[in-house]
A and B are shown apart, each in its own frame.
Chain A
Amino acid sequence: MQTRTVGLLAKQVWRNTVKNRSTIWLFGVFNLLLLCALLSGYQYMHSQQLLALENSEEVRERWVNNPDKHPHRMAHYGYVAFRQKYPLSFFDFGMDSYVGNVIFLEAHRQNTVNFSAASLSNGLLRLGEISAGMVLQLLVPLLLFFWGFSLVASEREKGTLKIVLIQNVSAVELIAGRALGLFYLSTVVFLPTAIIGGILLGLSDLGLTSIGLYGRFILLLIAYVFYFGLLSWLAVLISAYSSSSRASLIRLIGCWLFFTLMLPKVSQLVGQTLYPAPTKIEFDTAVEEELIQHGDSHNPNDPHFQALKDSLLRAYGVESPQELPFNYSGYVMREGEKLSAETYQRHQENLVGIYQKQQQVVRLTAMLNPYLAIKNLSMAFSGTDYSAFKDFQEQTETYRYTLAQTMNELQIQHISNKVESSADKKAIISRQHWEDLPDFQHQFLSLGQVIRQESISIISLMVWGLGLFLVTNRFAQHLKAF
């Protein structure tokens, strides 16, 4: 393949397309749309970041300023954790608007993450948001198909193709050249987005390591470049092997509908059917039932905790819990928390396992669908996919457990075993202990974790690239000149 010939053919596509006035309008409209999407996304992300930061500070301040009290009361006073927006979330909103941002953390209970943007907004959000990611994934392909459907087919219809092919141009060079020209056109839309995105990212750095944040951004851009390259190649390949421009356009629009609307919905449906998930009520009931079987740490007559008490009394050779060298109630709370957390964790892991199997079905269909592959990659690099949310949930549960057990330890160590009730003056500890619990810090997934989780999507794009290359080479001999 001669790169000079490919370059000439690509340059011709560029020149012919940009000479058209409607192309200039389209460039303008798309760049404006992307600019609006980026700026509004950034503005929303920034305001949410500030809100989370301010509220987190207030929650911390209120926690440490609590008066002297019984530590178990503090365990029930609880903590509120806020989900931080990843600095790249302005690029692709992903699932961000539909998952919760705030969770109340307390002893014994695993609450849900609430206050998603969707639940707080009016119904308009359901009509869909416009993010740069959405425009690049859904609308730019349409633009490329619109520019590319006739690139070879119309030359065949007009008769120019015969003269082109006779000038030492092979079918592979022709397809590669036209595809490269089409790809050049996509850069007019993509390049400003990448530059503005980079500038906004610089403004929004929340002290994250540059390697992680900018590494994600660079990989995100590379993924999109590859995606546009694939689509350009696909458009020209279909144009080359269609009998007419009309047939080519119909096929490309069909591909777009199949890839962006049909296949994602079908794959979700298949995933949900193959791996049905319990409802929220079913999940909570199952956890509750198992906890009842294990025992209630607040009930002094519970058989499980009665047995625990008996074993402790035997081990320490005493007659009553009051004679134990530590606070018995705190000890029971610690054991109860451990049991309930383990039970919840097991059920949660099962549930997450089901969700992941459903996701896996969708991920596997990315092998058939480059749109799904780029969608998954874009969300993952922007920190707005399900994995990012799941990771936040896991961090909050770990923090909740630490909170409850820290308070239980304080009770075990500092509260006398002979107090009548938690209102007793001896049952109160100094507020200075509240600072023993560190503040909740939402940590984002590392670049390596994101790449590992999205390996199928990365492989999918590569398989598509290889597949298109092989198909082009295989059928190059059969390209019809007329």
Chain B
Amino acid sequence: MLIAENLTKIYGQQTALWQLNLEIKAGEIFALLGQNGAGKTTTIHCLLGFILPTEGAAYINGLEVTKNLTVARKQVAYIPETVMLYPNLTGAENLAFFSSLAGFKYSTNELEAYLTYAGLQAEAHHRRLGGYSKGMRQKVGIAIAVAKQVKALLLDEPTSGLDPKAANEFSSILKNMAEKGTAILMATHDIFRAKEIADRIGIMKEGNLVSIIKASSVTTHALEELYLQMV
């Protein structure tokens, strides 16, 4: 579903990503671990077509992203580290607007159901987003991604602003989506969360994918040891 083929991105003298080869199948959750500047976000941006790779190609559901940008993006949802939406609109209005852009027209009940599913309290659904906490905005971002009904989901540090309960709920949502066949790529610093929900974990260092580990084959402690050794 998500494929990176020799994906390389070089900025001047600096290599942000070097010959990344990766395939994430439908229903799989893949977590990318690594320090800041390791190339996690660059990988996601290349897969989304936000940046053009210097070499190699990114594919979503068999479509080369740079050549089929709009069609490829139609099949993917994205949740950034900080979800920035329109502060003058309510959570429900934001969801309605972004869903409309994606071609989905939902009733108020359906919008509320998506927001509730993403973990946003009912009393906040019709409040302006300007008054939301980072975690609440993140939940609206999750609702937008879920409502898009896509085959692939890319997440960049999605749980960084969430409290433990919300992060836990978020993990359940991701697992649920994966069970329904969604391929998920998640960049994170959270080793515990990666171990908990991912099927495979990749460790990145200075633009290189240095290791891929099957999550079920290691303990959290062992994963942490391995991570610290590699980075």
Q: Do A and B come from one complex?
A: yes
Q: Does B219 contact A (CB under 8 A)?
A: no
Q: Does A360 contact B (CB under 8 A)?
A: no
Interface of A is mostly: helix
Contact A159 B84 (CB under 8 A): yes
Query: Number of residues in A with C-beta < 8 Å to the partner?
Result: 22
With A5-B101, A12-B97 in contact, do A19 and B77 touch (Cβ < 8 Å)? no
| Minimal Cβ-Cβ distance residue in B for A477 | B69
Contact B88 A163 (CB under 8 A): no
A167 to B149, CA, bound (A): 11
Report which of B50, B69, B83, B101 forms a contact with A8, defined as CB distance below 8 A: B101
Contact A167 B82 (CB under 8 A): no
Contact A163 B97 (CB under 8 A): no
A167 to B98, CA, bound (A): 7
A162 to B155, CA, bound (A): 12
Q: Does B70 contact A (CB under 8 A)?
A: yes
Within 8 A of A (CB), among B139-154: 141, 144, 148
Within 8 A of A (CB), among B78-131: 78, 80, 82-86, 88, 97-103
| Minimal Cβ-Cβ distance residue in B for A169 | B101
**Min CB–CB distance A241 → chain B (angstroms):** 15
**Min CB–CB distance B141 → chain A (angstroms):** 7
| Minimal Cβ-Cβ distance residue in A for B101 | A167
A452 to B101, CA, bound (A): 45
Q: Does A194 contact B (CB under 8 A)?
A: no
Q: Does A119 contact B (CB under 8 A)?
A: no
| B148 CB contacts on chain A under 8 angstroms | 167
Q: Does B193 contact A (CB under 8 A)?
A: no
Q: Does A299 contact B (CB under 8 A)?
A: no
Q: Does A158 contact B (CB under 8 A)?
A: yes
Q: Does B48 contact A (CB under 8 A)?
A: yes
| Minimal Cβ-Cβ distance residue in A for B84 | A159
Q: Does B73 contact A (CB under 8 A)?
A: yes
A452-482 to B contact mask, C-beta < 8 Å, 1/0: 0000000000000000000000000100111
Contact B69 A158 (CB under 8 A): no
Report which of B45, B84, B100 forms a contact with A163, defined as CB distance below 8 A: B84
Contact A162 B86 (CB under 8 A): no
What are 16 A-B contacts defined by CB distance under 8 Å?
A8-B101, A9-B101, A12-B86, A160-B85, A162-B50, A163-B84, A163-B85, A163-B141, A166-B48, A167-B98, A167-B144, A169-B101, A477-B69, A480-B50, A481-B50, A482-B50
Kindly list the 4 A-B residue pairs having the minimum CB-CB distance in the complex, ordered from nearest. Answer: A159-B84, A167-B101, A481-B50, A167-B102
